[in-house]
Amino acid sequence: MINLILFGAPGSGKGTQSANLVQRYQLMHVSTGDILRAEIKAETELGLKAKTLIEAGHLVPDEVIIAMMEDLVASHPDVKGFVFDGFLRTVAQAQALDLLLKRHQTKVSAMLELSVPDEMVIERLLLRKEKEGRSDDNIETINHRLKVYRTQTAPVSEYYAQQGNLHLVDGTGRVEEISERLYQIIDKLA
């Protein structure tokens, strides 16, 4: 199996790049943000709980996310692997994922971190607000999400660096150029 973690700040291009990776390597795309937004739309109990947190730019509790991922991995035994997008927001989630994949006789193949300057991610998110109208893409929530990223999420990168499994990728430039940078790393893993 190839299990990739696309990592980076909100607006760093994880969703866009995931779509290309999924197509090229025939993997399953897992976006915890998309799953949560679907729960909100369906007005499930989980959705109702997540809504206020997401709209304020806070993280959804680790235990909720980890349980969601355990179900997801267990219910897709036949996939070639996963592209995790926006999953791994905390070191606790990273530790839980390592254990979960180990139970399924697999592991994280690589963490790919998209580096993009703050001014650029803010610009991209405000543009996305116009196109997609996401309620958490307003400037106040964006600033809070970036703060949460720096304090709670960025340490995950160090966690995989210590395992020798972190690949830093320049996330600026054209979408296809960034994809090429990712392909070069992933093709070497196989």
Given the rule CB under 6 A, which residues bind ligand AMP? Answer: 10, 32-33, 36, 53-54, 57-60, 65, 86-87, 89, 93, 136, 145
C-beta closer to ligand AMP: residue 136 or 167 = 136
Least CB distance to ligand AMP at residue 142 (A): 10
C-beta closer to ligand AMP: residue 131 or 188 = 131
Chain residue at closest Cβ approach to ligand AMP = 33
- Dist CA 177 CA 190 (whole Å): 21
Least CB distance to ligand AMP at residue 50 (A): 7
C-beta closer to ligand AMP: residue 89 or 190 = 89
Least CB distance to ligand AMP at residue 190 (A): 27
How far CA 82 is from CA of 91, 95, 115, in Å, comes to 19, 17, 21
Least CB distance to ligand AMP at residue 3 (A): 15
C-beta closer to ligand AMP: residue 2 or 33 = 33
